[in-house]
Amino acid sequence: MKIAPHSKLLLIGDSITDCERARPIGEGLFGAVGKSYVQLLEGLLYAKFPAHAVRVVNMGTSGNTVLDLKARWKTDVLDLKPDWLSIMIGVNDVWRQFDLPRQKEIHVLPKVYERTLQELVHQTRPKLKGLIMLAPFYIEPNKSDAMRARMDEYGAIVKKVAAKNKAIFIDTQAAFDEVLPHMHANAIAWDRVHPNIIGHTIIARAILNAIDVPV
């Protein structure tokens, strides 16, 4: 496994990461890490590598865009001093362009998204032993769908920033695309954004495979 024993792994993002995690810090007993892929990740890491005692911390916040991450980056990332950091952000940056198309002042367009993500990663990468960056996704098989096409554009930005900063890039969209020929999108996420247990397992498996924990 790429993550060394006794490391702190912090995962930050939006509602897909959040999933009822504890406040102010999602770590500890009684479901503190929430009910997302983070919980599955923690359970599988401890089941397969109990001696590693990796600390898993969930700092997802529902509704966040990359600009919201920037506003809380010091308290929720830098001050917590993780050894490894996982970032998955972008769904709301794209979604607001479609469900609230007239409120353009809240839209995070590609240039702002890329610039902000790069800024956050650039200031943090030297402090980390490892960085994982996951592409945002839309669980829609039709690549010509307007929101799916836009999400793919933002996923390409994440891939670009990850390469620039020597991060592990996870193509989350591709992980879902492997399943979609066999399952309808509604069986994975009722709104094609917020996954059920199947969707969260797909994300957790993609992360574990990327850090050399085959499942």
Annotated catalytic residues are 15, 191, 194
Alpha helices in 29-90 (DSSP H): 37-48, 66-76
Q: Is 189 exposed, middle or buried (0-12, 13-18, 19+ CB in 10 A)?
A: buried
Best CA proximity match to 3, nearest among 53, 78, 60, 77: 53
Reading the block at residue 187, the tokens are 């069986």
Contact 10, 59 (CB under 8 A): yes
Contact 77, 124 (CB under 8 A): yes
- What CA–CA distance (Å, rounded) separates 149 from 102? 20
Helix (H) or strand (E) holding 133, with range, is strand 130-134
C-beta neighbour count of 88 within 10 angstroms: 25
What is the end-to-end Cα distance of the chain in Å, rounded?
12
- What CA–CA distance (Å, rounded) separates 199 from 160? 25
Residue type, 182: H
Residues found in the chain = 215
